[in-house]
Amino acid sequence: MTEIQIRLIDVADLYYSAYYYEGFDRLSRADSRLGEVALRTNVSLNIPATIKNALQDKNARHLLFAISIYSIRTDSVEYFICIDAHDSNKTAGISDHTEGYHRSLLKVVDRYYKVNFNEDFLKHSDLPLALQQKVRPIAQFAPIKTSAILPFCKRIIFPLNPIRIKPGLSHSKPYSGFWQDVLQRIRRLRKLQSLDQLLKLRYEPKTNDIFFVTSYRPNPRHKAAMELRHSLMELINKKPHLHCTIGFTSHAHIPPQYREMEQPRLSQADYLKAMSRAKIVIYTQGMDGCISSKFLLAMSAGCVMVGDPINNNTDMMAKHTHLKDQFGYSNPSTVVDSAIAILSESSSLERLSRLNLELFDNYLSPTKAAQWILEDLGLVA
């Protein structure tokens, strides 16, 4: 039997890294899925020499919070891969915090898996062809906590400072010390839901017609998105015959023009339960046209989604044609009218809900994403 050792180099925020590690870990506990292959998983703070210089690149370390890095080793070969879950897929402007690729890592890893993969952007970038060929699309993630909690507690005890790796805490938030890093890890382990908790939500009764609750972001780069989302909320609010949950939530001050749509803050557990009870979830893109994590969360719960186009990972759209009935509506009026049309046809609602669940189980789940990586590396058939 072939043994594959999978080691996560723990520099990313758990919000981004846990989903894919959960996939590898679950495969390691179900060897029969991979035939004559046994997986062994672990989490490490030790930085291999092969990638150490890349991680110490001061111009790019602000990107590390959303990039999971792995060593995948057999008796005969070792691969280094990363999974980049950033919103953007831009390849220019390395000083810009929305930069989509960590170029130093791209040069040294064997595969660079990109959540928001856009082939057109990549082809027309200034990246050399040899580097472009390392990039692969990977299914979207959801923020969850892994069932293998103890390995992720190492970072609570041991600081990253001694090895001079200082990943940012979030978009435009630089590393601010060991204690901030520790507190963020503790918050993630305490507040995020597990995959099993997420999957149970598909059995919640669909008692709500439309769900559209989203965070209000005060940053200027979010201004256009906030205006669009507010327009959608106003249109939905004018449909009194529908049972809807809509509004902005925020830790920050919400401007007066949006305040009538303010919703109380929800824990992740409460948010997901409210979302899973909706027949339709309104979908809007994340920043830089990225696929929002709400996409996967709604799919896992069997909710139907209606909203913005999906411009990245176009292979997924091509293979799963039922997505065209749900996405591609840029005009707020068209989004609301399309949602109402689907609500009025129970057969369409049931069909799309079933197909969304199948899409999650057969393509988007953590184990499917992990298995796809092993297949892409040629380690399993």
pLDDT tens track, the chain, 381 positions: 789 999 999 999 999 999 999 999 999 987 556 777 889 999 999 999 999 999 988 888 888 999 999 999 999 999 999 999 988 776 654 444 446 789 999 999 999 999 999 888 888 888 889 999 999 999 999 999 999 999 999 989 887 655 567 887 777 677 778 888 899 999 999 999 999 999 999 999 999 999 999 988 888 778 888 899 999 999 999 998 999 999 998 887 888 888 889 888 888 999 999 999 999 999 998 777 788 888 999 999 999 999 998 888 888 888 899 999 999 888 999 999 999 999 999 999 999 999 999 999 999 999 999 999 999 999 988
The neighbouring-strand residues paired with 37 are 2
Contacts of 127 (CB under 8 A, 6+ apart): 91, 101, 103, 106
Question: If DSSP codes are grouped into helix, strand and coil, which group holds residue 194?
Answer: strand
In 89-170, which ranges are continuous DSSP H helix?
103-108, 119-123, 129-132, 154-157
- Beta carbons of 292 and 222 less than 8 angstroms apart: no
The neighbouring-strand residues paired with 112 are 82, 135
Euclidean distance between CA atoms 46 and 72, whole angstroms: 14
Euclidean distance between CA atoms 234 and 95, whole angstroms: 37
CB atoms within 10 A of CB 276: 24
DSSP structural state of residue 18: H
Euclidean distance between CA atoms 317 and 76, whole angstroms: 37
DSSP structural state of residue 95: T
CB atoms within 10 A of CB 372: 18
Euclidean distance between CA atoms 209 and 148, whole angstroms: 36
